[in-house]
A = this chain, B = another copy of it.
Amino acid sequence: MLNEKLSEEKVFKDPVHRYIHVRDKLIWDLIGTKEFQRLRRIRQLGTTYLTFHGAEHSRFNHSLGVYEIVRRIVDDVFNGRPEWDDEERLLCLCAALLHDLGHGPFSHSFEKVFHLDHEDFTQKIILGDTEVHAVLSKVDNSFPKKVAEVIAKTYEKKQVVSLISSQIDADRMDYLQRDAYYTGVSYGHFDMERILRVMRPREDQVVIKSSGMHAVEDYIMSRYQMYWQVYFHPVTRSAEVILTKILHRAKQLHHEFYSFKHNPIHFYSIFEDELTLEDYLKLDESIILYYFQAWLEETDPILSDLCRRFMNRQLFKFVEFNPNIQMMTLIELTTLFKKAGIDPEYYLVVDSSSDLPYDFYRPGEEEERLPIHLLMPNGDLKELSRQSEIVDAISGKRRTDHKLYFPLDLIEDLSTKRTAKKRILELLNIKK
């Protein structure tokens, strides 16, 4: 199976990479599994489509893209290099294709509310009783475990790991370009063809020939702009806040023995912390949207209101919030909301976004990140920020933003509570 090829190469038309090429029977079979096809029903960018209407693409889409980038690296660039062990080729391709397999619907909110981890589920799918596992096992019994290790970054050969997860990996290169393409923003462009051509495998990492430094700078800048312009867009975060609160509310109602008109059967095991892999795999975004639509008719006013907001895109408004100096304001607002009959637990939310655009190596720190190394003409390795002034300028500098979200419409409707309304608007700095 390791080297079994399709009788004719299969291609997928892809708007980002033009074509995605599949020659290995193993890859073709993996794509055909139901666990992989399920990724078609999970959006790559969660609630972002409510801000950028073009961004409706799925994780299926992105997973093929990551696979194709790795395929180009291993087949066109690394092929035949002495430092590169040909046996690892298929391992890389499988890990690239499957790296997002465990994502659930609207992953980030879901994981936060229910204390789940999509990486755990990726491991479980690869190692459990699944079609994916069956296909991988055809190589040999130990193969699924190796693929799982590459994705978990515990695989011993680190150059394999770093193709999939590092500060310049195939995952990031695909999503920056793909998300830029689908949203239509002008960020996200960099010369990937050049970066691929200058990648070189070294003992424990993949390095970049120094002649490609400027393409890497461009990639780092693209990433920076995509994070702040797209991924952390405050309108997207508003939808995310509402989504989170819907899930919270439903869980709470379940524990309070609320009588649902439309029973959350698919959520029982998750509400009870008894989620099985089989249950998890049934969850996708159509299921979630099905429930949200059904819950529009629930009698609980908070649940139905939040669902209405999400389905019809009636989102929360926001103001900047500085936790260092505005905690008293938040406390006063909380009190005022309660007085006004707007439950602050669901309707007054601080949300924070934070990103570290690039970091050099800080051994021992939490979330240790492997730096990007340049391969100099004389064979030395130099860490990127030592060579690039631009990268140095932003290296290691974490940027964090906080915003306070609230339903402006509800506040404006507080006609019988003039004083509270006036004070709330004052504290939120909203001029009428």
**Copies of the chain in the assembly:** 4
* Docked-complex contact A191 and B184, CB < 8 angstroms: no
A359 at the interface (CB under 8 A from B): no
- Interface positions, chain A 134-189, Cβ under 8 Å from B, are 181-187, 189
Give Cα A15–Cα B217 distance, bound, in whole angstroms: 21
Residues of B within 8 A of A100 (CB): none
A311 at the interface (CB under 8 A from B): yes
- Which chain B residue shows the least CB distance to A282? B293
Give Cα A313–Cα B40 distance, bound, in whole angstroms: 10
Residues of B within 8 A of A344 (CB): none
* Docked-complex contact B53 and A193, CB < 8 angstroms: no
Distance to closest chain B CB from A397 (angstroms): 7
Residues of B within 8 A of A293 (CB): 282, 284, 286-287
- Which chain B residue shows the least CB distance to A229? B214
A54 at the interface (CB under 8 A from B): yes
Give Cα A15–Cα B191 distance, bound, in whole angstroms: 12
- Which chain B residue shows the least CB distance to A185? B13
**Known A-B contacts A225-B214, A229-B214, A393-B393; A15 and B184 likewise in contact (beta carbons under 8 Å):** yes
Residues of B within 8 A of A290 (CB): 286-287, 290
Contact with B along A24-38 (1 / 0, CB 8 A): 000000001110010
Residues of B within 8 A of A394 (CB): 389-390, 393
Give Cα A32–Cα B186 distance, bound, in whole angstroms: 26
Binds B, one of A58-66, A84-92, A327-335, A412-420: A58-66
Contact with B along A1-40 (1 / 0, CB 8 A): 0000000000111111011000000000000111001001
Give Cα A116–Cα B64 distance, bound, in whole angstroms: 37
Residues of B within 8 A of A114 (CB): none
* Docked-complex contact A54 and B13, CB < 8 angstroms: yes
Distance to closest chain B CB from A79 (angstroms): 13
A280 at the interface (CB under 8 A from B): no
Interface size on A, residues (CB 8 A): 65
A101 at the interface (CB under 8 A from B): no
Distance to closest chain B CB from A61 (angstroms): 5
A57 at the interface (CB under 8 A from B): yes
Q: A217 is contacted by which of B14, B215, B225, B312 (Cβ under 8 Å)?
A: B225
- Which chain B residue shows the least CB distance to A191? B186
A221 at the interface (CB under 8 A from B): yes
**Known A-B contacts A54-B14, A221-B221, A399-B389; A41 and B185 likewise in contact (beta carbons under 8 Å):** no
Distance to closest chain B CB from A28 (angstroms): 12
A383 at the interface (CB under 8 A from B): no
A289 at the interface (CB under 8 A from B): yes
- Which chain B residue shows the least CB distance to A31? B313
Residues of B within 8 A of A56 (CB): 40, 56-58, 61
Give Cα A187–Cα B189 distance, bound, in whole angstroms: 8
- Which chain B residue shows the least CB distance to A314? B32
Residues of A within 8 A of B (CB): 11-16, 18-19, 32-34, 37, 40-41, 49, 52-54, 56-58, 60-61, 64, 181-187, 189-191, 193-194, 197, 214-215, 217-218, 221, 224-225, 228-229, 282, 284-290, 293, 311-314, 389-390, 393-394, 397, 399
Q: A14-B53, A56-B58, A389-B397 are in contact. List 16 more A-B contacts (CB 8 A).
A: A13-B52, A15-B182, A15-B183, A15-B184, A32-B313, A37-B311, A40-B49, A41-B289, A185-B191, A189-B189, A218-B225, A284-B293, A286-B288, A286-B289, A286-B290, A389-B399
The 9 closest A-B pairs by CB, nearest first: A393-B393, A15-B184, A286-B289, A286-B286, A186-B191, A290-B290, A34-B312, A15-B54, A13-B184
14 CB < 8 A contacts A-B? A18-B193, A19-B197, A34-B311, A37-B311, A37-B312, A40-B56, A56-B57, A186-B191, A186-B194, A217-B225, A218-B221, A286-B289, A287-B293, A389-B399
